[in-house]
Amino acid sequence: MNFRWLFVICLTIVLLSACAQKPKQNQTMPGMDHNQHNQPSGGKESTNTSQVQAVWKFADSAPQSGKDEQISIQIQDNTGKPIEKFQVSHEKQMHLIVVNKDLSFFNHIHPDYKGKGLFQIRTQFPTGGDYKLIADFIPEGGEAKTESQWVKVSGDVPAAQPLTPETNLTKVVEGKEVSLSFDQLQAGKELTMTFNFLDASTKQPITNLEPYLGAVGHVVILSADAEKYIHNHPLEEKATGPQAKFGTAFPASGIYKLWGQFKHQGKTFIVPYTIQVP
């Protein structure tokens, strides 16, 4: 494996196990974020990332749909001592992804850091059902960490929407015609994923995409069962379109849902795709 390539593309793949009974299968590829390579190490206590854990708490013991719910995420070591310092990665100390079980709902939010390892945010779950919360953060002096938690939200549960792989990867979102393509699409291969942006009415290339959280775009990928989680940043973070390219790798064949997040003319937008990886 070419580690330099991985470093450059900021790729991480974390295989998550949802079952708390089982030991976690965590695989973090090197090069999650440039920041972790740039920290001065002299005199700083280093963090053994394998001992970092997240304790999730909800202000309401049973969160309800359609209500502001407070989520608290306490980051600590395996003795319960808070981890106190975090690196800023893409402008935030923590990125929190919220999806529901059939992956029809996606949210990317940023909890506030309250000190002493505690992150908090108020958010709403649109319907009842099972949701997965996935937190990305980097303890200072340590490696990028991903911690996740399933939560049951009370309220009406809509019928699950089946994930059907799309064959046509061109769609119109917020007046933009977005096309997704891959240089090769096969499980276990390092590949390049390209988003191309045209003005939907004039078909002219869009060349003034704006940075969103410090990069031209962000891509989150989840396997259909929400167990395999990948968060990618662009090969060229300062690109402005019409193309945004990301390096990634799908750990196994199967159905995946991915969400590209971009910003244009002051507005952020999300482009979702469901794909079949051979």
Given the rule CB under 5 A, which residues bind Cu ion? 95
Closest separation between CB of residue 46 and Cu ion, Å?
25
Instruction: Choose between 95 and 145: whose C-beta lies nearer to Cu ion.
Output: 95
Closest separation between CB of residue 136 and Cu ion, Å?
7
What are the CA-CA distances from residue 244 to residues 18, 197, 230, 234, 238 (Å)? 32, 9, 17, 7, 9
Instruction: Choose between 94 and 198: whose C-beta lies nearer to Cu ion.
Output: 94
What are the CA-CA distances from residue 46 to residues 74, 199, 273 (Å)? 19, 48, 39
Closest separation between CB of residue 91 and Cu ion, Å?
8
Residue 61 · residue 70 · CB < 8 Å: no
End-to-end CA distance of the chain: give it in Å, rounded: 21
* Nearest of 249, 235, 267, 265 to residue 7 by alpha carbon: 235
Instruction: Choose between 118 and 134: whose C-beta lies nearer to Cu ion.
Output: 134
Closest separation between CB of residue 1 and Cu ion, Å?
27
Instruction: Choose between 95 and 264: whose C-beta lies nearer to Cu ion.
Output: 95
- What is the widest separation between alpha-carbon atoms in the chain? 59
Closest separation between CB of residue 190 and Cu ion, Å?
24
The token duo for 49 is 């990332």
Instruction: Choose between 95 and 257: whose C-beta lies nearer to Cu ion.
Output: 95
